[in-house]
Amino acid sequence: MKKRFFILILFISIIGFCKAQDIHFSQFDNSPLLINPSLSGEFKGKGRFIFNYRNQWSSITKNSFRTYAFSSDCSFFKEKLSAGLFIFKDMAGDGNMSISQINLSISSKVKLNKKDFFKLGIQASWSQKHIDMNKLTWNSQYDGNVINPNLNSGEASYQENFSYPDFATGILWTHQLKNKTRLNVGLSAFHVNKPSYNFLANTETLNIRWCGHADFSFPLSQGYIVLYPSVLFMQQGASNEINVGAIMKYNLGNIYRDRGVAKISGIFFGAYYRFNDAIIAYMRFNYKSQFDICLTYDINISKFVVASNARGGSEISLIYIIPK
């Protein structure tokens, strides 16, 4: 009983600490528009569609953190302009506290020279937060035997739904080296308008989320093995997140061409380390450079391991790319 009480208190504390923080995915490479608006259109193909699902702390509570997301982006005018759509919904807790958001991004690419490109992106969003007060119970509703939800809780009423506009911007620099080696470095800022929202009859303001990221890709072993090291840093108010790691792609079979486009299937393995939080195991399968399924699992190593027993969150992403 004491252990269950400890887990409950710790879980509530985490919810309270994170209430004003943005969602995140361990597969940040598969949620590009959550990282930087200028990443729209940064892929080889006509169009890209991504579905993400994350489930965290299911080992602690049946009402775990659940995040669903869908994105689509494309480029046009010879890749000088790109546009993207990103939609997500995040839910957690007995009251199904949730945030839903729709984001529209557009970016422009400028060729600096034969090896360097610069992109500027902007994003406009509409967000809605919600909590179902009818699903919550309080100690004041204890009638001596059980919790009676029909009794007056004595809690102050407050707004269950509210929405607000939001804006973000970002830049990206790409440097192309020899042998198809490429370096990407980006910086972005979300909530640049510092939107306000009202919860528990108090007005809160979202802090700007700064995001810096870099990734490097270079082929090994005559192109049959490709290494992708990357780093992601995010800062929002007093909270920060740092991810470092690498994945390796092994190309399966010989490269073949379909209407002049080189295609090949491959498998990816790797790991990331999220500082003071988790080790992320990464596995991905790519079919003919068009279909991807990616699985990751967070092995929790933070102080919360007392309750989680190292079981963090699982993620799955499905990606489809329309070839040129």
142 found inside a domain: no
DSSP string computed for 176-243: E-STT-EEEEEEEEE-TT--EEEETTEEEEPPPEEEEEEEEEEEEGGGTEEEEEEEEEEEETTEEEEE
255 found inside a domain: yes
156 found inside a domain: no
pLDDT tens by residue, the chain, 324 residues? 444 444 444 444 444 444 456 888 999 999 999 999 999 999 988 999 999 999 987 777 777 789 999 999 999 988 899 999 999 999 887 777 889 999 999 999 999 998 999 999 999 999 998 877 777 777 777 777 777 777 777 666 665 788 899 999 999 999 988 777 889 999 999 999 999 877 666 677 889 999 999 999 888 877 688 999 999 999 998 889 999 999 999 988 666 555 555 678 899 999 999 999 999 999 999 998 889 999 999 999 988 878 777 888 899 999 999 987
DSSP designation for 306: H
Cα–Cα–Cα angle for 286, 68, 109, rounded to 5 degrees: 60
145 found inside a domain: no
Radius of gyration of the chain (CA): 22
267 found inside a domain: yes
If one counts the domains in the chain, the total is: 1
Q: Which domain holds residue 263?
A: 2-130+161-322
279 found inside a domain: yes
146 found inside a domain: no
- Backbone torsions φ then ψ of 39, nearest 5 degrees: -80, -5
User: Comparing C-alpha atoms, which of 121, 38, 30, 107 is closest to residue 69?
Assistant: 30
58 found inside a domain: yes
CATH classification at residue 303: 2.40.160.40
User: Comparing C-alpha atoms, which of 95, 90, 91, 119 is closest to residue 105?
Assistant: 119
